[in-house]
Structure 1
Amino acid sequence: MRFFASLARLAPDTSLQSQRAVQRNSRTVLLSTLLAIVTIGAFCGEARATVAMLQPARVAAANEPLQITLLYSADDARALTVTVPPTIRVTLTGAEESPQPLDLQREPGVPDTLHLRPGQFRKVRFSAPWPQSARGEVRIDPVGFDASPALVAINRGPQQDAIAQAERAESEASTPAQAAEAAAAVGGPTGDAMSPPGDSLSTTGRGVLAHVSYYEPMYIAFGHNGDTNARLQLSFKYRILMPDDLRSKAFLDNLYFAYTQTSIWDLSADSRPFRDTTYSPQLFYYVPDTGWHSPLFTRMGFAAGIAHESNGKAGSDSRSINMPFIRPTWEFGDLTGNHLTVSPKIYYYLGTSNNPDIADYRGYVDLLVKYGSPDGWQLATTLRKGTKHWYGSVDSQFTYPLAKLLGSKWGGYIWVGYFNGYGEDLLDYNNRQHWMARVGYSIAR
């Protein structure tokens, strides 16, 4: 009986502990549920705005302000209120000038906050005068918001207003005919005259130094045919005067100095020497687009000047030539896609005392034929025909962007070359190279 009495006295206490435990658990579950509901509600109710920077016109008049347009859009299913800053900051980089910040003011009449309905967007413009030091092509990098940089060519010539207006009309045109009409209004070429796609004498890329750009292909490649060797070429050109109007065809405005160095590296020899190196400085006039148009071709470029080639050796191994030359270039098809380029370099020899018969093996014309696209594969072949017998050469180079093989972080191209004939280097201009295939890497093509 005492046992049952003791059990009866304990029963209420046990029930009270269970009830308290249940209450604690219930409160915990309730708080967790409320927290989850609040979190989900906040997440679902959060309206997110997308801010994008629209690309400015490629050509701008120096007497007009730099204008940047931001696009605010409500991408969620809820209304959105966004705060618009009174100013935005960008960094300008161009020519030899170091990067400099520039603050742009918000256009008048735009409130500090925007109320956007679901799916609605609003454009807000910011502007500031161009700095006096800004010349040529200028890179614009946004500061404080995520957007891609933009390239703008500043025109300071007498027709800057008309050219900038035509550029805006061309970019807003809905048909190719309207774009051509807008460009022809100021006598300018269609497309980007500052860095044209598929340029036969240079690449479309531009570095921070606006005066310097690529010239001939730059690469290093290795091959084996009896001995192991490499072929290395470095080349660049320098625009001596950067004109206020980048579309100018004036002589001094388009005068270039160029330097190309090509070496044959003997890797089979004990000391691995450079068997021969050709040094070639040049001074020439060059325009990528003459403005002459025809139903037969898309664009015509032109270059003319004088080139020197020598191997820097003395005695019987010395080779040296001077060549005045002209080089028209015709391009056929869509310049942004696969298209054909034909570019004959016609020259004459001055001062060939060390190699008077070089024309017998090399001739007077280098015929460059290319096919491919600026962002895809390209096959470029240079043909030479000597004045005697069947002397001459074939030099073919196939390139393909590494970014398409290994990802966007990679730059340059995979390079595959083939040479057969006379004159791969100056030292052996009269010795036949039956064939040589190489594989390597190219910086520019």
Structure 2
Amino acid sequence: MFNLSLLFWFPLLWFVARPVVGESLPRLNARDYQLDFLRALADLAEQRAELSLNDYLQQLESDASYGNYSGQLAFARASHKLQPKVLLIKQLLDAKHHSQLDLKHTCVLRNLLFLSRLNQQLRSARESSGQEIRQLRLHRVCQQFERPRPTVQHRERLINDQTVGAALQQLNLTQSLSNGTSLSLNEFGQQLYERVKLSGSEIIDNYVLMLRDLLQNILDADHVDLAENSTQLEQLIQQLDTMLAIPDFFEKRQSVYSFIERHLASDHEVTSQGTNSKQRLTEHLLDQLKAKGLDLFVIFLFSNFEFLEHVHEHWTQLLPQTPTVLYDETNRQLYDIQQLYESFKLDTESFAKYEAYSQALKRLHERTVEQGQQNHHIFEMFNNAAQNVGSVTFNMIKAKCKELL
């Protein structure tokens, strides 16, 4: 059956679909195409609804019978939120006697109900789309574990100083053969950062948008037990919007990590009423997420591993594909890190293999800091992500994958 509410959507869809001069069209193959489309649609619907509500509030202001409510009417009209406008209109209409045959009165109430239902439909569509894309991302991550178990024939193909590097040194071939073949660690970091910054930002934005949608839903639902936190919720949403607008990947990542430590830490001490209120809000957020089948910690782990996969994919492509990789210390260090990661993924329950991989990354990060490398921040992010993905963590991820698959 045709949904009459879609009649309201068609003009909006036309406006959303219209290209804006200077604005690039969203890619149809983008992971968040549906979410971006629905958010744009919801924003446009809210703007259109605000115009209609303000127009009606202005009509009420010009009605002498509502003269005692001029202050409240002006305040509601000046507000950028729809809820105060809707509540005041309902309050004033209910307070005034109307005939059952008053069609205008009935239409206003009917249209207010329509706006509420449309908002719920758009919110539900966003939640469904968000859940689908999360499932697709988790499924892709879980597929990385569908690999054969390591056998006794499997050997690490490391070319560190204990193997090929030492042999070359003994033969005194490194100096004569490495001239002009040395890989610039700064250039490698710069190219790596350029390749992963978009996918890295997408991973972070997905995490932030999940939190933002949840906060907005809690705010819109008008939870009585969180009434005192409405201002705090609005401030948190503004902070998340600010983070989403940050163009630089590293700056965005630092901002999000700081936000999580400030607002989502569940083990902080309760020392004041304000902190107690903050803890209650944090607990409510976590409860809401769990009710939706989401776990911030699990999603955080998956996000770290997803980022590692993106980095290592491009890491391999940037490594020299010629025998010169044997002759240079930097080349060998970068090559070894890739081999250690692949070895660990074959046996994620091995603490020794994880330790070898994480320590190699840690040494590389320390080297870039000591040398004052301009692009050391990519190695810092890479190292931090790896520290959060150990053998115990991988077992948790694989256990979650069994539930999903």
| TM-score, length of structure 2 as denominator length | 0.19
Question: Is the helix fraction higher in 1 or 2?
Answer: 2
Higher-RCO chain (CA-CA 8 Å, sequence separation at least 6): 2
Bigger share in strand: 1
